Structure 1
Amino acid sequence: MEIPRLIASDVDGTLLSTETHLSDRTVGVVTRAVGASVPVVLVTGRPPRWIPQVAEQAGLTGYAVCANGAVLYDIGADRVVDVHGLLDPVMLRDVADRLTFALPGCRLASERIGTHAIDDDMKNFVVESEYHNPWGSNEGSVVSRAEVLGHSAVKLLVSHTKMTSDEMAQAAHTVLNGTVDITFSSGGGLIELAAHGVTKGTGLAEIAQRFGVGAHGTIAFGDMPNDLEMLRWAGHGVAVANAHPVVLDAADEVTAPHFEDGVAQVLERWF
């Protein structure tokens, strides 16, 4: 691949060298790329409110694709610039009813979006009692299931403490029949549901268009099934060595694991 004109990277398990931090090596190559007028875009399942802590470390003030493609966020302006595929309450309730049958004992949470990373006048993230976050976060307002499903959301999250994410996704597919897209970014018993056709790939394509860059000029990095569409869309899709097997199979290239600065090792070819 020639020098990329756009760099896109997943965050957790890919760009971050630990659960919370970027290495000096990664920060250095990101800084050099931006200095060479090559945009670096964070493309993540994270909501906008989880972006600043990463962007500040990397010195990024441009765009982030959040919520697996549903939200485009301007980091420097702290502004949501576009939202795609809201799940309305009718859809949420229908999906929840089917999941209760396929995944008995599951617990739900929903991600809502306003105009900024954090909107004081709304609950951005609501969870029902006993919802389990595999990352150990206690974030979220605990509400009834009716409240979780009662307002439009960009993402419905489903947890189960006695199943893997792969097992959950297989069971959910049997009852949802493509009405929503199912993916996951952790193997620890959590799946993420979004409107059909809304993916990291569609979100990245929109950002690339804003920069006047096509897929051929884009390099993308990822590690989990929610990165598949992004890696397939990009001209060169790179998986870190710690990636899920389906991602390793789909990638054009496999680099070192995230804890060995796999993203930086590739980008240092040009920057």
Structure 2
Amino acid sequence: MTSATRRPRTPASPLPPRLIATDLDGTLLRDDKSVSKRTVAALAAAEEAGIDVFFVTGRPARWMDVVSDHVHGHGLAICGNGAAVVDLHDGPGAHRFVKIRELLPKTALDVVTLLRAAAPGTAFAVERTGGLHHEPTYPPLHVDPSESVAPAEDLLADDAAGAGQPVLKVLAFHPTLGPDAFLRLARTAVGDRAMITRSSPSALLEISGPGVSKASTLALCCAERGISHEQVVAFGDMPNDVEMLTWAGTSYAMGNAHPDVIAAASGRTVANNEDGVAVVIERILAQGF
């Protein structure tokens, strides 16, 4: 059986789903960053059936244009690996921050110091609500220009450019370490001072405030709606999805997922380029929920 025709593994769900939580890159989006017609139809059908759909992504709010037409009624997305809940109702460039779970600059500075010692050569960037600031040695990994360029210690100073804007996360890039090796090293060096994960194929780490993850912010949003974790179906493909997939009552690793994601999820669907999220949503709706 080819990957295009195999059926996803289906875990048992104890309660009818009330919310679908899906990552974007490598999960809902195809590799060309498009949302297929099949996926658009499945998302709309889920909302029509009374199932909320939340996009839960590492992307900053300014990169949400790709799905801003598909947020439906509630209009909310969880961005920055849980650092922000954003209202996308007003369209591209007009998003509104509903909830911010910031990384305190002092904590960020401590993390930078520890990582410089543990992994010499690391280059840093600082993601604030108003944009990205980075060091001179940080590579051009992002699609938008930086707001300022300076050493991380200056970017996090009280008088830094954008200092009045909360820090959502710090990014750390290493030019020679492998992605998983860098992640393990960083988690050992930093401990519980911050949440460290990754979603890039390169050695690029994403550092949030302690306890801030896709899972913890999704849990807050669900609690506000009276939705239990057993009523959540989640999808993901990279290590920054692991906590969310573990927390959700039913979860699916994509066919293209990282091994840690496969181990964390309760089920598996086909790859993002094969509309794996839509395949599962269609099955859920066919069951009459």
Q: Same fold (TM over 0.5)?
A: yes
> How many residue pairs are counted as aligned between the two chains?
259
Secondary structure of the residue aligned to 1:177 is helix
Structure 1 residue 3: Cα displacement: 4.0
Instruction: Confirm or deny: 8 A CA contact 1:72 1:81 kept in the other structure.
Output: yes
Residue-by-residue CA offset, 1:200-248 (whole Å, 9 max, x unaligned): 1111111112322111111000011111111111110111011110110
Is the contact made by 2:134 and 2:149 (CA closer than 8 Å) also made in structure 1? yes
Mapping of residues 28-177 of structure 1, within 5 Å: 28-56=41-69, 58=70, 60=72, 62-77=75-90, 78-84=95-101, 86-113=102-129, 123-132=130-139, 134=141, 137-145=143-151, 146-150=153-157, 151=163, 152-177=166-191
- Amino acid of the residue matched to residue 193 of structure 1? I
Give the root-mean-square deviation of aligned CA atoms: 1.7
Percentage of pairs with the same residue = 38
Contact conserved, 2:251 with 2:266, CA < 8 A, in 1?
yes
Kindly state the Cα deviation for residue 59 of structure 1 after the two structures are TM-superposed. Answer: 5.1
SS in 1 for 2:283: coil
2:255 corresponding residue in structure 1: 241
Offset of residue 91 of structure 1: 1.8
Of 212, 224, 229 in structure 1, the residue corresponding to residue 243 of structure 2 is 229
Gap regions ≥5 residues in structure 1: 114-122
Distance 2:17 2:49 in 1: 11
Please tell me whether residue 182 in structure 1 is matched to residue 217 in structure 2: no
Question: Conserved in 1, the CA contact under 8 Å of 2:132 and 2:148?
Answer: no
TM-score w.r.t. the length of structure 1 is 0.90
Structure 2 gap ranges (5+)? 1-12, 158-162
1:53 Cα deviation from its structure 2 partner: 2.4
TM-score of the pair, normalised by structure 2: 0.84
**Which structure: larger Rg?**
2
CA distance in 1, matches of 2:230, 2:18: 9
CA shift for structure 1 position 93:
1.8
Question: What is the CA distance between 1:43 and its match in structure 2?
Answer: 0.4
Amino acid at match of 2:257: A
